[in-house]
């Protein structure tokens, strides 16, 4: 059965699922539309449009892979201060598609801009002429398959008809469902905060379950706000807050060709001008943005392909943050560590192995490790009260905390990951079948 709003709402766990999500509602200046372009065998929404009626300030961070998708190439080439639409398709990554893939972006952007310009004439008092450079794309799915240009262009008129000028929780969930691939559930988050005396909203959706280790960005994540913040400051805020959120997660250690995190600001909130990232008025917004990004990033990990456990690796008191990151990701990405966690085995020797190979500055005599509140290693030796039975019982929990104290400095870093189960292999072995 394909994933769509109908079967999502009629599932046996309907009430639980709906209650999991915050009450995202309307943000001025944003319209949403979803359709099925028949990109999957099963009938489901697989094409999503976000339409910014008066344009939106924006900023994005993209994958640092040396091989990038054609939509990322398109986005990077658009030198404009305002975006009027973001189009996201699933099932096809438009990666390793060459000239055909890029030209598809051009053709689709031209058709969307043409139809949105007509929509402006119908609905707006001061209609804008929307150009193809005002369109951004998000693509996700299989690498190397011909991009389904004809199917998508054929559904643009339906996208226009389905535009919802007013959003509610239902509309946001529908959009979040529409960008999913191997995800099992939609990912949404929201915060409200003050800029001066004005309340502003920050909403976000994301997708991702596999091919996830960030490098500047990861998966697809889209943040929307009614704040009035210029592009350059949005860029600084996004890059700053990516580092300990989306750049602190790993499901399987793999970085996609399509990774992108973007923020769009409609400027509908009436607050004082933001002049710099250090402006006191933006402090609350900065903190709220971090919470939204971290919420979404954790949801990606929790929904990792085949995941049965959510794992937090806290690395403390290192000489540098870089050392803390090296150790954290070395532990988080170790197949031996991840399979031990999946098997509920407190095999702390695998943690020792992963720390040792991280190429970070350590002194074994200072090393301490805990599983939750259980002391495993203390100052380089097995703790004298260590209990294998107690540790085994702890490993049955769905949330596992691994605390690593290097004790040679003051820098810390947290990495969020998942276990590695047989289900992960099954999902990825059958991904294209």
Q: What's the CA gap between 190 and 70, in Å, rounded?
A: 30
- Phi, psi (degrees; rounded to nearest 5) at 202: -130, 110
Cβ neighbors of 114 (< 8 A, separation 6 or more) are none
Q: Are 328 and 414 in contact (CB under 8 A)?
A: yes
Strands (E) located in 208-327:
220-225, 260-265, 310-318
Q: What's the CA gap between 253 and 407, in Å, rounded?
A: 27
3-state secondary structure 45-80: CCEEEEEEEEEEEEEEEECCCCCCCHHHHHHHHCCC
Q: Which residues pair with 314 in a beta bridge?
A: 403, 414
Q: What's the CA gap between 95 and 430, in Å, rounded?
A: 20
Q: What's the CA gap between 386 and 87, in Å, rounded?
A: 54
**Does the active-site annotation cover 218?**
yes
Q: What's the CA gap between 246 and 315, in Å, rounded?
A: 17
What's the angle, vertex CA 341, arms to CA 299 and CA 214, rounded to 5?
40
The string of DSSP codes covering 150-162 is: HHHHTTHHHHHHT
String of b and e for 180-197 (b: at least 16 CB within 10 Å)?
Answer: bbbbebbbbbbbebebbe
Long-range contacts of 334-338 (CB under 8 A, 24+ apart): 335/420, 338/311, 338/417, 338/418, 338/419, 338/420
Give CA separation, 104 vs 70, 96, 255, 386, in Å: 9, 13, 24, 60
Cβ neighbors of 190 (< 8 A, separation 6 or more) are 22, 23, 24, 201, 202, 203, 204, 292
Say which of 181, 218, 225, 245 is annotated catalytic.
Answer: 218
Q: Would you put residue 245 in left (φ > 0), alpha (ψ -120 to 50) or beta?
A: alpha
Q: Are 219 and 207 in contact (CB under 8 A)?
A: yes
> Which residues does the annotation mark as catalytic?
218
């Amino acid at each position: 059965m394909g994933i769509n709003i109908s079967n999502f709402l009629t599932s046996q766990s309907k009430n639980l699922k709906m209650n999991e999500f915050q009450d995202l509602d309307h943000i001025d200046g944003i319209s949403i539309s979803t359709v099925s372009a028949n990109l999957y065998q099963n009938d489901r929404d697989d094409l999503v449009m976000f339409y910014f009626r008066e344009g939106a300030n924006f900023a994005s961070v993209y994958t640092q892979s040396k091989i990038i998708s054609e939509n990322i190439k398109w986005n990077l080439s658009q030198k404009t201060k305002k975006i009027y639409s973001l189009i996201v398709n699933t099932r096809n990554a438009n990666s390793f598609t060459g000239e055909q893939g890029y030209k598809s972006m051009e053709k689709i952007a031209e058709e969307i801009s043409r139809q949105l310009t007509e929509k402006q004439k119908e609905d707006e008092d001061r209609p804008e002429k929307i150009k193809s450079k005002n369109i951004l794309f998000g693509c996700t799915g299989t690498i190397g398959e011909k991009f389904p240009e004809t199917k998508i262009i054929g559904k643009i008129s339906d996208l226009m008809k389905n535009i919802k000028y007013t959003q509610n929780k239902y509309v946001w969930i529908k959009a979040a469902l529409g960008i999913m691939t191997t995800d099992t559930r939609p990912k949404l988050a929201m915060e409200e905060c003050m800029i001066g005396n004005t309340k502003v909203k920050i909403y976000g959706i994301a997708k991702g379950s596999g091919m996830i280790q960030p490098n500047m960005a990861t998966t697809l994540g889209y943040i929307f706000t009614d704040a009035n913040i210029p592009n350059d400051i949005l860029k600084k805020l996004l890059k700053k807050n990516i580092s300990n959120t989306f750049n602190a997660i790993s499901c399987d250690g793999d970085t996609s060709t399509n990774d992108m995190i973007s923020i769009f600001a409609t400027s509908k909130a009436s607050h004082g001008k933001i002049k710099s990232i250090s402006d006191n008025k933006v402090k609350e917004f900065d903190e709220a943005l971090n919470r939204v990004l971290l919420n979404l990033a954790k949801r990606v990990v929790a929904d990792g392909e085949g995941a049965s456990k959510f794992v937090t690796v806290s690395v403390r008191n290192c000489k540098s943050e870089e050392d803390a990151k090296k150790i954290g990701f070395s532990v988080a990405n170790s197949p031996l560590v991840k399979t031990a966690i999946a098997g509920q085995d407190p095999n702390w020797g695998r943690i020792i192995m992963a720390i040792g190979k991280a190429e970070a500055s350590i002194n074994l005599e200072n090393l301490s490790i805990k599983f939750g509140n259980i002391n495993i290693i203390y100052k380089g030796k097995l703790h004298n009260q260590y209990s294998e039975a107690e540790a085994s019982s702890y490993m049955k929990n769905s949330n596992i905390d691994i605390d690593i104290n290097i004790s040679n400095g003051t820098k810390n870093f947290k990495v969020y990951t998942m276990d590695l189960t047989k289900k992960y292999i099954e999902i990825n072995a059958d991904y294209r079948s």
